[in-house]
Structure 1
């Protein structure tokens, strides 16, 4: 069976040229190492409706959809919310992500503030899993 792998990259910084996309190269190389090839790559701006729509669309034509971007602490990081909407679930505090953020803050002798805590709010029932050379992925 040929696994249909698609990438969805999100960020205004990618769209306006402030940042050059090198992450899709890394994903493609790592996927190739395990015998998977990227079929399609889509890059979109930080727009909740557009992101939710593209997640639904690409999910219908993917066996594996990798979404990169939009999981940070800023107001324009919308991936968790869009993924929850696309799956018809709510966003909630994920205990595993919360624990990870606590360790992250402790290592830096920093307080875990509200913007950083936003990163622990994921679609209900999301499972964080380690991936080879990739920090984490979310499965819903």
Structure 2
């Protein structure tokens, strides 16, 4: 009997003022799929997006919708927004892109910010020993 790896689910919790309380769960994807998706993550929309840019955004949203498991997002009427492509398409692009970028950071292993650095301590004795070069 072989090893079957369980699916990895990332829980993204947002603390920024305008997104505080939002929780999103999304699956990982294969390394190959992530590599294919990488150019789409770097896409910057121009003021007047071209048809190619719009197609790339549509592909990015479709790919992310495939891994989106759930979220606690509600609409103006306090109704749950489905965690689907249609649910993504009903949101502002900047909101969706922040979620996708947080997911991409989690999937690619970008670590959380490190804690405050420790104090510098004393200088190393080895560094303070004078050396004579002959």
Q: TM-score surpassing 0.5? A: no
Higher gyration radius (CA): 2
* Higher strand proportion (structure 1 or 2): 1
